[in-house]
Amino acid sequence: MLSRALEVAGRLANDATDVITATAGRGAHPDVADSPFDWVTDTDRILERHTRRVLTAEFPGIPVVGGEFGADTGADSAAYRWVVDPVDGTANYVAGVPWCAYSLALVDASGPVVGVVADPYRAQIYAAARGRGTRANGKPVKLVDRDRITGSIVCTELARKGPWPGMGSFIERAAEARAGVRVLGSAALSIAQVALGHAIAAVLHSYHEWDVAGSVALAIEAGAVVLDRRGSDSPLPTDGLLVAAPSAAEEVLSWWQETERGIRAS
């Protein structure tokens, strides 16, 4: 099943790459949702419908959960479910900023089983399966842990309606440690940067499962750790997550926790 799931997910990621690169910033028609940072486009809907059609035909009985059309009946209790975000970073896509992704994951009770993320502008397909490692365009990817944070990049993303509580303090704390924080507009690609070794950590204060499930699979299989805001191991925490190189996890987590304590004390 893993091999077949990887093959089908990879095919869908290639389809998404073709559509996104052909249409980004070129007459896209966005529908503004309830946040200025949350867009919906015809491309989101087209790609999710296509993904659902293919998955339903190839894996009958496995429900799909998507960013545009919600969850199939029984998804909450199913042994497996597919989770898809057709365009993660839609505001970038609409503007023609070359930083968005297609994300697809097969998830069970223990977390992502298979994850595929398409990075259309860099012509990369990142794929991982439980126990089989992570690959970028077919080449193995293994996180090389760093022994220092100075000079490293930490990724984060805005919350639904803007900066998350304590985000400014978090950035200041990172700067004190001489690390740079980047807010680039795609949760999936932020986490993927950790798996690829470009960033030492990614902190997401809030997110939807479909934003991160695919890239969390990449990170875990590449050797990163995934923690919730209390520091517990959790492949898909429900209220924020930290993905980090093992040597950096404790320090970056402390910055996040310090900002939250500061908010509660104020």
CA distance 151 to 156: 16
Q: Which residues pair with 83 in a beta bridge?
A: 65, 105
Phi, psi of 185 (to 5 degrees): 100, 15
Q: Is 42 annotated as a binding residue?
A: no
Cα–Cα distance, 160 to 37 (Å, whole number): 7
Ramachandran sector of residue 102 (left: φ over 0; alpha: ψ -120 to 50; beta: rest):
beta
- CA neighbor of 66 nearest in space, from 38, 91, 86, 93: 86
Distance CA 250, CA 252 (A): 6
Three-state DSSP string of 181-216: EEECCCHHHHHHHHHHCCCCEEEECCCCHHHHHHHH
Task: Establish whether 147 is an annotated binding residue.
Answer: no
Query: Can you give the three-state secondary structure of 2-47, one letter per residue?
Result: HHHHHHHHHHHHHHHHHHHHHHCCCCCCCEECCCCCCEECHHHHHH
* Residues flagged as binding site for Mg(2+): 85, 88, 211
Binding residue positions:
85, 88, 211
